[in-house]
Structure 1
Amino acid sequence: MNLYESLCYDTLSGYRAACLKLLESDTKISSAKNYVDITNSILDLAITKATDGQNYISNFNKKNQDPAIQKCATTLYSLSISSFKKAKVELVKNPSTASSSARFAGNGPDYCADAIKAVNINDPAIVDINKNVLLVSEIPSVAARKLVK
């Protein structure tokens, strides 16, 4: 079993298939041989996914002008991106903090999902973005915990 496969089995059980699909497509992740390298690569992927998601939601908001979408695109996704970046900085010197920061990054898409549901916005792309960013917050959190001594 590859390192990324092991991480996917340690991640939320209902998301194993999605985890495997997401990670195996990135050669830096699928070929990683240690938890520092794989966690850094997953955090890079998380930053990219969150940034792409934020851009999509920002463009969606230009057409729909809703305070819930505006909050997702600005405050909530900015929080996620900065938390992923903090996790990268903390990974080697304080993996426990890195794990917490990665998990905290999942609050952005989680709160975004609640906010758009409350105002009956149902855009399948935003739903998928929120799910994917939530998933990529869980995976590096699990990986960073493997480094805690």
Structure 2
Amino acid sequence: MNSSKVSYLLPTLFMILISHSPIPASSQSLYESVCKETGQDAGLCLQLLKANPQISSAKNYRDLSKLILDLAITKGTQGQNVLLNLQKTNPSPAIRQCATNDYVGTIGSLKSAIRELPVDLQTAQYDARVAGDGPANCATAITAAKINNPTIFNINKMTSLLCKVAFLALEHVS
């Protein structure tokens, strides 16, 4: 083989070897991966989860799911308390529905998902998914009552997102 053919063959061989070399593993954490699945809500998801050092250092999806469910219960309970306080100054039936029916159901479903996680993954996933119905129903009631309150909007958005993220994390548990 003459030298000109070798000079053409070497770069080609080099490119073939590079294209077949293994791609380095992503340095993306588990919670970042799950947040990415939320689409347009990824930024808010990252903001909510990154603040919790346990979540950001979770090593497997089971632990991550439990931690996210715990966070969702905490934030949902805080939101419910805000709604209960708002009800004192605005005794609207819609706010009462949110505080007493919708968020009671959401928090109950999230707690059920934690209880089911070690024994019945499908039920835990279902519970996390239906937990998101509470904030959605609350948002519908608030809109129908023509209540324009950014605090309620933010509570519903955050709680709904955490329920969705918990469900997405649970989908990765094997």
- Specify the code of the residue in structure 2 equivalent to 1:94: D
- Residue 94 of structure 1 deviates from its aligned partner by 1.4
Is 1:86 matched up with 2:117?
no
Question: 1:51-90 to 2 correspondence within 5 Å?
Answer: 51-90=77-116
CA RMSD of aligned residues (A): 0.8
Separation of aligned partners in 2, 1:85 and 1:91: 10
Q: What secondary structure, in the 3-state scheme, does the structure 1 residue paired with 2:169 have?
A: helix
Aligned to 1:30: 56
- Residue 103 of structure 1 deviates from its aligned partner by 1.1
Query: Could you say which structure has the larger radius of gyration?
Result: 2
| Bigger mean CA offset, 39-48 vs 91-100 | 91-100
Aligned to 1:13: 39
- Residue 92 of structure 1 deviates from its aligned partner by 2.0
Aligned to 2:30: 3
Give the count of matched residue pairs.
Answer: 147
Aligned to 1:107: 133
Deviation sequence 1:59-95 (CA, Å, 0-9, x none): 0010011111101000110000000000001112211
| Large movers: runs of 4+ above 2 Å | none
Question: 1:123-142 to 2 correspondence within 5 Å?
Answer: 123-142=149-168
| TM-score normalised over the length of structure 1 | 0.96
Stretches of structure 2 that go unaligned for 5 or more consecutive residues are: 1-27
- Specify the code of the residue in structure 1 equivalent to 2:52: D
| TM-score normalised over the length of structure 2 | 0.83
Deviation sequence 1:93-144 (CA, Å, 0-9, x none): 2112111111100000000000011011111011000000000000110111
Separation of aligned partners in 2, 1:59 and 1:101: 27
Q: What secondary structure, in the 3-state scheme, does the structure 2 residue paired with 1:133 have?
A: helix
| Bigger mean CA offset, 75-84 vs 93-102 | 93-102
Separation of aligned partners in 2, 1:5 and 1:35: 12
Identity fraction in percent: 46
Aligned to 2:75: 49
- Specify the code of the residue in structure 2 equivalent to 1:142: L
Q: What secondary structure, in the 3-state scheme, does the structure 2 residue paired with 1:17 have?
A: helix
